[in-house]
Amino acid sequence: MECQNYGLNRSIERENLNLNPLQRGGVLSAAAREALYDFGDGYSVCDYCAGRLDEISKPSIGGFLEDLAKFINVDAVRTVHGAREGKFAIMHALCDNGDTIVLDGNAHYTSHLAAERNHLKMIEVPSTGSPEFEITPEKYQETLENALDTHGEIKLALLTHVDGNYGNLTNAKKIGKICQDAGVPLLLNCAYSMGRLPIDAKDLNVDFVVGSGHKSMAASGPIGVLGMKEEWGDKLLQKSPRHQKKEIEMLGCTSRGAPIATLMASLPHLIDRVSKWDDEVDKARNFVSQMEEIEGVMQVGLRPTNHDLVRFETPFFHEIAQKHSRRGFFLYEELKKRKIVGIKRGQTEWFKCSAYGMTEEQVDYIAASFKEIAEKSGN
Amino acid sequence: MDKNRFNQAENLIKKAASVENKTEVIKEAQEGIINVELFDKTLKDLIEADDFIYSSLPFHKLNLEESKLFTSKILDARENINGILSDFGVIEKPKSEEKISDLSHELLIITTKNNFKKSLIKLGINVQQIVVAGVPLKAEDMKKINPKIPDTALNGISKKIEHVQNDIIRKMDKMNLKYVLVVAEPDLNGNILGKRAKENYNAFVNLEKDLKDIKVDRLIELILCATQPN
């Protein structure tokens, strides 16, 4: 059998500034690239395994998990295949078919799928709507209390720490306290925060945190992080009666090979970069302010932004697209000429982007390019 | 190192490292063994250089400092590739080994680790001119390293120390070596060894990390520092 040409090559990240928020936090560190070379083979981390992935001593996965637990301040931590798998495992361990959970209105679609796969009903905390789309602690409290009144018991609440549409950073600490006082365990989805900004799960009053290695932790996918308070270990890390070393919710072993090796290699890099989070926020705000110098471009979501992911409404570019010979493709093509990618082809009415990890100079270049395109195409 | 000595060393390095500008002849490959360690190192040097591709987006222009770092990685990779090619007879063995051997003919090197001894040999140092001192050069120094060491253990170590000292003197006499260079990691052991070797043999002491990865140029620089005292 002759295989098709799969087009398996990718130079986009090496040749262009990529503004796609999904890509920014997953760019590998140099140490992770080296680890990728050493640990690319299937079961590469399993040479010295005695039956438990999290206890392997060479490479020291056990040591890594201890460090990772300190990094996010949780009592126990496991790697999983992604934040979504972490959410699914938590829901599966805590809830029964037909139970109801509370989650925020900006939750990622995988939070919904994890609940649906567990046959759970969902009550959503609405956001404030346009233009800020904020999830307020007050609304969260009101929704949670109503849900408790109606259903008697809510086994889990979920909060998206930073959502993927507006980059809104929620007040997790306050909402964590609300849930704690109500006796409802809280799961904080940190897919867009863990590895970008400091996470202290205990300080945030949360019972569980999940993170995404490929989205925000400079690791090859698929890999996620699941951290928890000690009291949940019995449920979530329960062992199989038949295969006594294996944890049921983890289906024995989770992420192996390149994903975990790259995450391990990147941890020192992550420790360093989260300490510079304030600089990233300043950079994002500077970017927003430069972009808003173009009339008809405005940031939506909380202002000033507290995250690198920013969403712009861009009626200015949309108007141009109506008359331009390349229609909606003009913006993508003009940016591509300037070696900037990550805005979807044909998208001109709004877009979200991130300059996370870029230099000030690169950010200025991107903003100047948008202005240049606006000037050139607007005339 | 003072500035004069540094300049002197720099000039000598340039002179020592100058290679006749011959056109390289690529020969047909012979049977050989892949040096896997060198191959891995080559790729990792290139991966480190790869980082500059990301940081210099979108036009990949590097400033002077970045250019130096980037090209040093590429040069390291090239040196490794040359080593691999020469193992298969595709190109001639690098001249640097001969150069190092010539420059170090009056030098004894004292080090603390066997893996560094291997690196020195690979770069062209005669094995007979290396002493691995797994212990300090004086018994009382052992107390500084481990204050709780029992006397019985200290007696055993004293014998080893005597053996190392005899080895140094024997090699210097027999091979007519005039200079001593200490190369060790910048830890307590390295510091104590260096201090004592300076006292006993007027050694030139160099303490630095990752010694097993030492490069030809750096080794030549150290040899010249040790053998060209003011």
What confidence tens digit (pLDDT) does each residue in A318-364 have?
999 999 999 999 999 999 999 999 999 999 999 999 999 999 999 99
Dihedral sign from CA coordinates of A344, A350, A355, A359: positive
Contact B48 A30 (CB under 8 A): yes
Q: What is the mean pLDDT of chain B?
A: 85
Mutation for B interface: A13, A33, A336, A363, most B CBs within 10 A: A33
Q: Which residues of B touch A16 (CB under 8 A)?
A: 57-58
CB A366 within 8 Å of CB A340 = yes
- Predicted confidence band of residue B20 (pLDDT cuts 50, 70, 90): very low
| A119 Cβ neighbours under 8 A, 6+ residues apart | A97, A98
pLDDT at A209: 98
What residue type is assigned to position A70 of the chain? K
Q: Which residues of A touch B36 (CB under 8 A)?
A: none
Report pLDDT digits (tens) over A38-47: 999 999 999 9
In CATH terms, B97-227 corresponds, of 3.40.50, 3.40.1360, 3.90.930, 1.10.3470, to: 3.40.1360
Residue A125 CA to residue B167 CA, distance in Å, equals 79
Contact of A37 with chain B, judged by CB distance below 8 Å, is answered with yes
- Predicted confidence band of residue B7 (pLDDT cuts 50, 70, 90): low
Contact A30 B51 (CB under 8 A): yes
Mutation for B interface: A10, A14, A27, A361, most B CBs within 10 A: A14
Give yes or no for residue B19 having a pLDDT over 50: no
Contact of B213 with chain A, judged by CB distance below 8 Å, is answered with no
pLDDT at B230: 57
User: Of A164, A212, A216, A157, which Cα lies nearest the Cα of A187?
Assistant: A157
Q: Which residues of B touch A15 (CB under 8 A)?
A: 57-58
Mutation for B interface: A34, A266, A360, most B CBs within 10 A: A34
pLDDT at B129: 93
Q: Report phi then psi at B31, rounded to 5.
A: -65, 145
Residue A209 CA to residue A186 CA, distance in Å, equals 9
pLDDT at B159: 84
Q: How far is A14 from chain B (nearest CA, A)?
A: 6
Residue A177 CA to residue A17 CA, distance in Å, equals 40
H-run or E-run covering A276? none
| Residue % of chain A over a pLDDT of 70 | 100
Give the A window 317-346 contacts with B, CB below 8 Å.
Answer: 338-340
Contact A27 B55 (CB under 8 A): no
Give the B window 53-92 contacts with A, CB below 8 Å.
Answer: 53-55, 57-59
Q: How far is B167 from chain A (nearest CA, A)?
A: 38
Residue B20 CA to residue B95 CA, distance in Å, equals 10
User: Of B217, B223, B200, which Cα lies nearest the Cα of B109?
Assistant: B223
- How far apart are the two ends of chain A, measured CA to CA in Å? 55
pLDDT at A146: 98
User: Of A267, A283, A302, A250, which Cα lies nearest the Cα of A135?
Assistant: A302
Mutation for A interface: B48, B52, B54, B73, most A CBs within 10 A: B54
DSSP category for residue A182: H
Residue-range domain boundaries for chain B = 3-92, 97-227
| B28 Cβ neighbours under 8 A, 6+ residues apart | B89, B90
Alpha helices in chain B (DSSP H): 3-17, 36-55, 64-87, 96-103, 114-122, 139-145, 151-174, 188-201, 216-227
Give yes or no for residue B13 having a pLDDT over 70: no
Q: How far is A360 from chain B (nearest CA, A)?
A: 12
Residue B71 CA to residue B66 CA, distance in Å, equals 8
**Domains along chain A with CATH numbers:** 12-25+276-378 (3.90.1150.10), 39-273 (3.40.640.10)
pLDDT at A236: 97
What residue type is assigned to position B48 of the chain? E
CA A6 to chain centre: 28
**Burial class of residue A229, CB neighbours in 10 A (0-12, 13-18, 19+):** middle
Alpha helices in chain A (DSSP H): 12-15, 21-24, 30-38, 61-72, 83-94, 109-117, 137-151, 172-182, 213-216, 233-236, 258-274, 277-291, 315-323, 329-337, 360-378
Across the range A250-265, mean pLDDT stands at: 96
